[in-house]
Structure 1
């Protein structure tokens, strides 16, 4: 469901995903994405990009569920969020029990 929601987001909100990070929450205040997980937001991280034959750049994004404090950090100052991500060593492969990047 998350991927379907993300695919519809730009159309429903007349918005585009920005690189290097876009953070999306479903409610204010943020609520868990699902009752079984502690994550309250989704971070879209620029992963790779390539240039099409017509010259346009396509960005491939990594979808990463985020804790409330992580989303707040990313919304406040993206470089601090990216530095915390780099320091943490957190994999870009989904890990439902991973620790928060923000301590």
Structure 2
């Protein structure tokens, strides 16, 4: 059943916008950038080359990049964390 649904979505994504969005979220997990509020206020997540990035206020001076189950990047410099997030997309495209 899922193969038929994904086949329909892939063939005509504009006919199924909500389903297309949901299937992309399933394929590319959401990433949360965690840090203190003052660090997050200056960030523009739309500049990160990854489809689903969100800010999350957290009691830490550093930046953490996390998926639902665990964090995968941690650094005091945002550019390092940004690079790690963008690497997820590069790794996904080489599979």
**TM-score band w.r.t. shorter chain:** under 0.3
Alignment TM-score, normalising by the size of structure 1:
0.25
Higher relative contact order (CA 8 A, sep 6+): 2
Higher strand share: 1
Alignment TM-score, normalising by the size of structure 2:
0.27
- Look at both structures and tell me which one has the larger radius of gyration over its CA atoms: 2
